[in-house]
Chain A
Amino acid sequence: MAKQNVVVVGGGLAGLAATMKLAEMGVHVDLISMVPVKRSHSVCAQGGINAVNDVTRQEGDNEWKHFDDSVYGGDFLAHQPPIKEMCDWGPRIIDLLDRIGVPFNRSPEGFRDQRRFGGTLYKRTAFAGATTGQQLIYALDEQARRWESEGMVSKYEYWEFLGPVLDDAGVCRGVIAQDMFSMEMRAFPADAVVLATGGNGLIFGRSTMSMICTGGAAGRAFRAGVKYANGEFMQVHPTAIPGTDKLRLMSESARGEGGRVWVPRKPQDERDPMSIPKEERYYFLEERYPKYGNLVPRDIATREIFEVCVKGGLSVEQNNLCVYLDVTELPPAQQKKLDGILEIYETFQGVDPRKTPMKIFPAVHYTMGGLWADYERDANHGGLNLGSPRNHQTNVPGIFAIGEADYQYHGANRLGANSLLSCIFSGLIVAPSIAAYMGGRKGSKDAPSTLFDGAVGVHKQQYEKLIRNDGTENPYKIHIELGDTMTRNVTVVRYNKAISETLGKIDDLMQRYQRVGLSDKSNWTNQNLSFTRALGDMLLMAKVIAQGALQRDECRGAHYKPDFEIPGPKAENPADLRREAETWCDGFQKNLDKWLKTTVATYDGKGGTGFDGKGGFKIEYEAVDTSMIPPRPRTYGLKGAEIIEEVWKERIAKAKRGPGAEKREAVGAG
């Protein structure tokens, strides 16, 4: 019998975790990546990785609470079984990382040290200096290298994935990829294909993501028929350093270690920030959210910073919107823990943040949406049935999606330090899922070579067409315009009118894209071509994001539409307040019925490159599995939060007693 072969596209944390687990199971892996896998975007992660641990456990924490925080942080939009399973695995994953040599920070006694991240009350986050992502990916990269030296893994670095190969029955039999040096194209036959190609921040122009995070690979899978879910959910990180090529992240750990966010009370106060007395500083997060202080969840922090600058007019600078993030008061030991990220600021801004407060502003940061992937719930414990081939398989048989490229774990907003966990977790569990899938199938060698030749031919044709295109439009200019309109209208605060304008603008840009002209027409290491090809995918996916955002008339997690916010109670008198809270909860329930749904986009052209003018897709909605934790309002900062929570709890309790009871009560309350 032919040896089983799996193609893994992408060697970030997710792809590497899948690769090493598959190799351990005796499956050969072709690992394809645009950059040497060690240089994948995952290196950028700074803060850490979440899991329940021995210490938090003794403070009352457990896997269920991590699960609850994740579900609540994601505003209930994510299916619960995969998250439950992930949180249950958390401690084991950290142990594994520890064993393979990740230099986690240590307590004096030699245990792993942990810190607290936004959106939770426990110190759940393990970290390695301030370069946790780099340390994790190196450990995984080393394991993959070990398997490579044993012949179980073949790496194809500087190879770009162009699309999957589907047979007549619609089953994936491999992929087509292109050598980014020689521009050679070839087929990689496979029994199964894993897409671990990361996020798509470049659709917004500059973001905290790496240069290759175009989402081009996901776009290509989408065109081939893989569904795309929850596209409109993009996380904007509250604290980034505005730069000319990139918005560099200032990790949440700066706040986790005690960093404080403030603006001068006097607008654009020109004094040296260190000389501004405490009482003339507005620590707006601490004042408005006494319980969480500077560690409010990301969406709240983002909106508050946005608001204090845009609406409040308190931006530190007039033309360059920003607020202060201040670690100058921290003791040296704590500052040292942050060395890695403070160095970034110092290197790229030329200012020492240990002595002067940093200037920061929100930036697009994480792609919650992604390729639609399935799962199978375990009837006994509510988590995943790990032997099932459905876990992480997309709607196209044989294509699996993991890591930031899928949509499974973070719902409407990702909890900080949960995505490194979800990447490694999904990579580890996709391996048995693939084994189960392959168990019942013929090997890839049985696919006719004409299938692959044909697919290579199609991609070659598209390549020729793009490289020869006789036009004057500049792809880089189109990209900048795309980023501008997306950032302005489809990020922190969304209005339907503005989103519609953006959709119109994207259509224009798609037209102009047809007339794009490459300044480089050579057939050797043509980066101009690679970028322009990805631009076609970005335009299509931008439309998926914007259309999803337009249709979703509600506020949920990172998706914030002021026009559809349910106004909070205002009354002073308790009876009125109670009545208003009831009304609020009615509205909340109505909204849940209407919008607690996964957005699922399906491409309706067949194949294509975006270059052929086909860009149609349809959007449908799917129910969300909330079988374990019933949705509840997120009321941070809302007046009357307590009374709303009280009313809602009563309703949940009633609902539990039975639908009949609920109805009778509702009539009675009328």
Chain B
Amino acid sequence: MSRYIHVKVLRQQDPHSAERWETFSVEHEPGMNVTTVLQRIAAAPVTVEHESSTPVAFDACCLEEVCGACSMVINGRVRQACSALIDNLCADGRDTIELRPMTKFPVVRDLVVNRRRMFDALKRVKAWVQVDDYFDRGPGPRVFPKEQDEAYPLSRCMTCGCCVEACPQYHDDSPFIGAAAISQAILFNAHPTGRSAADERMEVLAGKGGIADCGNSQNCVKVCPKKIPLTDSLAKAGRDATVYKLRKWFGR
């Protein structure tokens, strides 16, 4: 006998329209995830009230939790839709899932939000290695496995926004740049070449919207789908900012 999953979606036609709930019913398939559910709705957008509707707009690309596109709030928790398996969501025997857009970014439509603020923050902290040019100048600096082991996890940040969605300090009225950008600043400050711009990054981390805005609630690290050790980065940013300010204070 076929089993059906009820999917409650918080929809919004465009940034100026009001929100509304719509519920769809989707036939269960073994191994199906939330992105599949949304694809099935797109193919037959009819609500449980038998009213024809429109496909639910959502952001997704890789479908394997590596591009960061598909973050949304699923059953009250922010996460990637592509790695949210229905069988896990409904493990306790329930047959309803609830989908909402993230709340910390402007809604474009339905589950699509605009995460520009995160990318702007990456620009502010100069999240890159400033090389002279792209000519052939031999290999990069020697790196020991231990250093690589520290850099690699931070380097997996996919700017998905889960961390800032969960962060109480990140909202419209705050200039806080958020855990992801801070962690990237730490990553590039640790890089042998990236380090040459360390002061410029510290200027941002020690300034308005920087590390001082973090309330240390540690929500971010709990929701990061890439398990990035954000609290380590935040702690390091805090220490480095103190040292940086002291150094500046003493004119050095």
Closest to A111 in B: B142
Task: State whether B112 touches A525 (Cβ < 8 A).
Answer: yes
Q: Nearest Cβ in chain B — how far from A365, in angstroms?
A: 13
Q: When A35-B69, A38-B159, A128-B152 are in contact, do A24 and B127 touch as well, CB less than 8 Å?
A: no
B38-82 interface with A by 8 A CB criterion? 39, 42-45, 52-55, 57-58, 60-69, 82
Task: State whether A348 touches B43 (Cβ < 8 A).
Answer: no
B133 within 8 A of A: yes
Cβ contacts under 8 Å, B133 to chain A: 24
Closest to A477 in B: B43
Q: When A95-B138, A519-B55 are in contact, do A525 and B108 touch as well, CB less than 8 Å?
A: yes
B222 within 8 A of A: no
A551 within 8 A of B: no
A524 to B32, alpha carbons, bound, how many Å? 29
Other-chain contact of B130, A108, A146, A148, A522 (Cβ < 8 Å): A146
Q: When A39-B69, A43-B66, A350-B87 are in contact, do A525 and B57 touch as well, CB less than 8 Å?
A: yes
A491 within 8 A of B: no
Binds A, one of B96-104, B164-172, B188-196, B203-211: B188-196
A452 to B33, alpha carbons, bound, how many Å? 43
B215 within 8 A of A: no
Binds B, one of A135-143, A220-228, A648-656: A135-143
A519 to B64, alpha carbons, bound, how many Å? 28
Cβ contacts under 8 Å, B159 to chain A: 36, 38
Closest to A149 in B: B123
Cβ contacts under 8 Å, B142 to chain A: 109-111
Cβ contacts under 8 Å, A39 to chain B: 61-62, 67-69, 158
A109 to B147, alpha carbons, bound, how many Å? 12
A134 within 8 A of B: yes
Q: Nearest Cβ in chain A — how far from B195, in angstroms?
A: 11
Q: When A99-B193, A347-B65, A476-B43 are in contact, do A428 and B134 touch as well, CB less than 8 Å?
A: yes
Cβ contacts under 8 Å, A103 to chain B: 143, 148, 151-152, 155
Task: State whether B42 touches A142 (Cβ < 8 A).
Answer: no
Task: State whether A41 touches B61 (Cβ < 8 A).
Answer: yes
Task: State whether B43 touches A474 (Cβ < 8 A).
Answer: yes
Binds B, one of A187-195, A238-246, A493-501: A238-246
Q: Which residues of A contact B (CB under 8 A)?
A: 20-21, 24, 35-36, 38-41, 43-44, 92, 94-96, 98-101, 103-112, 128-129, 131, 134-135, 138-139, 142-143, 145-146, 148-149, 181, 210-212, 243-246, 248, 344, 347-350, 428, 474, 476-477, 519-520, 522, 524-525, 527-528, 531
Q: Which residues of B contact A (CB under 8 A)?
A: 13-14, 29-33, 35-36, 39, 42-45, 52-55, 57-58, 60-69, 82-83, 85, 87-88, 108-110, 112, 114-115, 119, 122-123, 126-131, 133-134, 136-140, 142-145, 147-148, 151-152, 155-156, 158-159, 188, 191, 193-194
Q: 21 A-B contacts, Cβ less than 8 Å apart?
A: A36-B69, A39-B68, A39-B69, A40-B67, A43-B67, A98-B139, A101-B128, A101-B191, A103-B148, A105-B145, A105-B148, A106-B144, A111-B142, A134-B156, A142-B122, A142-B128, A210-B62, A211-B62, A244-B29, A245-B63, A474-B43
Closest 3 pairs (CB-CB, A-B): A98-B140, A142-B128, A476-B43
